[in-house]
């Protein structure tokens, strides 16, 4: 009676690898399609004559700076109650943090100001998906190692399962 080689577990391993690869590929396609969706893009906002602002040595932060995905903050004008429009050289702006601080060398502190500005916000989901895709770029770097380990495992399975069962009797 001849013994035939058994490859039972090998088929399951190969099928699992194929399914996992397909799922990862579909996941990448879905994430990429989210990035091009307009609903995940920033929304522009404008604030006109916001009271209670000041320009001095202390940092003034606009209230919306804590909004999700806050960015692209730009001051359109600052009006002081006594001198009127402040020139740009009297203050500096941090576009990412939403802050204003008096510039070095300005002539005065301006405690009561109205500020008009624009900013963008609301791209939390977009940023989250972008971060996920960027983090997953390490998967292709490791893919060659994963495939190499799988191939070595398949070869070892064949060697330990097929070769002992394939001995020729009577030779």
What are 61-94's pLDDT values in tens digits?
A: 999 888 877 888 999 999 988 888 988 888 999 9
pLDDT score of 10: 66
Instruction: Enumerate the H helices of the chain as residue ranges.
Output: 8-35, 124-136, 138-161
Tokens representing 162 are 């097929």
pLDDT score of 27: 77
**For residues 124 and 103, which has the higher predicted lDDT (pLDDT)?**
103
Tokens representing 98 are 């939403």
Percent of the chain residues topping a pLDDT of 90: 19
Confidence of residue 115 (pLDDT cuts 50, 70, 90): very high
Closest among 123, 119, 121, 133 to 41, alpha carbons compared: 123
169: left (phi over 0), alpha (psi -120 to 50) or beta: beta
Confidence of residue 50 (pLDDT cuts 50, 70, 90): very high
Average pLDDT score, the chain:
78
Closest among 75, 81, 44 to 60, alpha carbons compared: 75
The whole-angstrom separation of Cα 71 and Cα 58 is 21
pLDDT score of 111: 85
Q: Are 50 and 117 in contact (CB under 8 A)?
A: yes
34-43, 81-90, 98-107: range with lowest mean pLDDT: 34-43
Count the neighbouring beta carbons within 10 Å of the beta carbon of residue 164.
Answer: 10
Taken as a whole, the chain contains a residue count of 171
Confidence of residue 117 (pLDDT cuts 50, 70, 90): very high
pLDDT score of 107: 74
**For residues 83 and 128, which has the higher predicted lDDT (pLDDT)?**
83
- Inter-CA distances, 95 with 19, 43, 46, Å: 46, 16, 14
Residue 104 sits at φ, ψ, to 5 deg, of -65, 135
Q: Are 108 and 40 in contact (CB under 8 A)?
A: no
pLDDT score of 92: 92
**For residues 73 and 106, which has the higher predicted lDDT (pLDDT)?**
73
The whole-angstrom separation of Cα 53 and Cα 63 is 11
State the pTM of this model.
0.52
In the block, tokens 């402040």 appear at 86
The domain limits of the chain are 8-37+134-166, 42-124
- Is 42-124 in CATH node 2.60.40? yes
């Amino acid at each position: 009676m001849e013994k035939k080689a058994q490859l039972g577990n090998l088929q399951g391993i190969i099928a699992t690898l194929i399914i996992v690869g397909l799922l990862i590929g579909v996941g990448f396609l879905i994430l990429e399609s989210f990035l091009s969706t307009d609903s995940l893009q920033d929304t522009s906002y404008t604030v006109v004559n916001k009271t209670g602002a000041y320009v001095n040595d202390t940092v003034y932060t606009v209230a919306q700076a804590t909004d999700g995905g806050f960015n692209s903050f730009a001051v359109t004008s600052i009006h002081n109650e006594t001198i009127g429009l402040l020139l740009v050289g009297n203050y500096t702006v941090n576009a990412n943090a939403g802050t204003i601080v008096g510039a070095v060398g300005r002539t005065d502190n301006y405690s009561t100001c109205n500020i008009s500005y624009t900013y963008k916000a609301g791209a939390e989901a977009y940023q989250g998906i972008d971060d996920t895709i960027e983090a997953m770029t390490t998967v292709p770097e490791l893919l060659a190692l994963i495939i190499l380990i799988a191939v070595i495992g398949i070869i070892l399975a064949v060697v330990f399962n097929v070769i002992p069962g394939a001995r020729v009797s009577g030779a």
